[in-house]
Amino acid sequence: MAQGYFVTGTDTGIGKTWTSLALMQYFQQQGKKVVGMKPVAAGCEMVGGQLRNEDALQLQAQSSVDISYELINPYAFPLPVSPHIAARKEGKKIDIANIQQAYLKLEALADVVIVEGVGGWMVPLNEKEDVSHLAEQLNLPIIVVVGMRLGCINQAKLTFSAIERLGLHCEGWIASCVERNMDELDANIKTLEAFSDMPLLATFPYEEERNHKSYKKIVIKTLQP
């Protein structure tokens, strides 16, 4: 059975894909066969007559084995809004059971599966379930990406606390610098380190434009596959 990790974040657009790619590279450098998964994606574009998400395509390209796009990204929607709204606009409903089935197929093909969530920890997936329910059902160790900017301490503490209340295991967190010059960056990081026992796994520096090569220089602290 493959080891899996669920990558969530304190917000959208803060580096979850970058983190997922860096984790994939980390385990690949250890000789592991790794695949990536982005179960739900909104804001997709038509490519060759099919809806495709840029982040999911990057995960597909980084995967150690050839995986069909539909398995990596079971739910793809064109409208760049909250997933439950995007699905409703298409007359569809996001079913966590379907995502679980896709995950099991990926699990059979790899040593490590990196699952990237959508938005933040409690972004709705349907009328009754959100990202936290998906993480709970997959029952994977969680890695939290914290977007380092004003307000991040509150967002991170809320996310950490919500994970702990569900009794889920958090493997650690990533400090993702999303501002060129954040005031008191080190003090913010130290505050979050003091708040939680969840270890800081890496600090991702600010980059004007993050691309598919940016994550290659990221150093992840020890994780055990």
CATH number, span 3-217? 3.40.50.300
pLDDT digit string (tens) for 88-105?
A: 999 999 999 999 999 999
pLDDT at 221 over 70: no
For the chain, domain boundaries:
3-217
190 is catalytic: no
Task: Indicate which residue of 38, 93, 190, 213 is catalytic.
Answer: 38
- Which region holds residue 117: left if phi is over 0, alpha if psi is between -120 and 50, else beta? beta
Confidence category of residue 223, pLDDT binned at 50, 70, 90 = low
Confidence category of residue 196, pLDDT binned at 50, 70, 90 = confident
pLDDT digit string (tens) for 149-167?
A: 999 999 999 999 999 999 9
The whole-number pLDDT of residue 164 equals 94
